[in-house]
Chain A
């Protein structure tokens, strides 16, 4: 099983460019979420989704858009990249219920110059 797949693994953007970070899961999990990890800050929740067509904002949503058209995919869009968005991005999926089954992707390291 692939689990949670994130692409690309590395990306360099110029300020003002747009891009989409891809996230796909093959475990039929209902819930998916995006996090960013900055040095000394731990992981912070950007957006999350409880199912196709349903998304909500997390702790640090500004500058990011998401959509969930299918159960499997949850892309994260940067409309106009800024140096402050330089970070490592993780996507996760989990099953509905109280069991601890969060699965993380391997991350995307994004640098905005």
Chain B
């Protein structure tokens, strides 16, 4: 079974609209962390937002927020007021266990295209 599932291979969104990118995860570890990364066409991995499994509130970073529903094991990324520069691949990833020693598990990604 996949540990990270991103069900939207591609999305087209009008500029200035809000966007929700879906991510569900599977783990039996009570301590884990969830990440979202952006990968533009230039190829670098850009960290966007992080949510720890024990965090009580949803994480927010500027226009990015993470809708964390622990019981449903979902960690959706919400981008408010989308911009043309938001066009990119977006990856959800998970760290299991405490301490970050074991690397990250990634989903297959969502290709987001913002249309003017």
Chain A residues within 8 Å of B, Cβ to Cβ: 31, 33, 35, 40-45, 48, 50, 56, 58-59, 88, 90, 92, 94-100, 102, 104, 106-107
With a cutoff of 8 Å between Cβ atoms, the chain A residues found around residue B103 in the complex are 33, 35, 45, 48, 58, 92
Asked if B43 contacts A102 (CB within 8 A), the reply is no
With a cutoff of 8 Å between Cβ atoms, the chain B residues found around residue A44 in the complex are 106
Interface stretch among B13-21, B67-75, B78-86, B93-101? B93-101
Asked if B99 contacts A43 (CB within 8 A), the reply is no
Asked if A106 contacts B43 (CB within 8 A), the reply is yes
With a cutoff of 8 Å between Cβ atoms, the chain B residues found around residue A106 in the complex are 43-44
Asked if B104 contacts A42 (CB within 8 A), the reply is no
CB of B25 within 8 A of chain A? Answer: no
Chain B residues within 8 Å of A, Cβ to Cβ: 4, 31, 33, 35, 43-45, 47, 50, 52, 91, 93, 98-109
Asked if B104 contacts A96 (CB within 8 A), the reply is no
Asked if A43 contacts B47 (CB within 8 A), the reply is no
Asked if B100 contacts A96 (CB within 8 A), the reply is yes
A-B contact pairs, 11 of them (CB 8 A): A40-B108, A50-B101, A59-B105, A88-B43, A92-B104, A94-B100, A96-B101, A98-B52, A99-B100, A100-B47, A102-B47
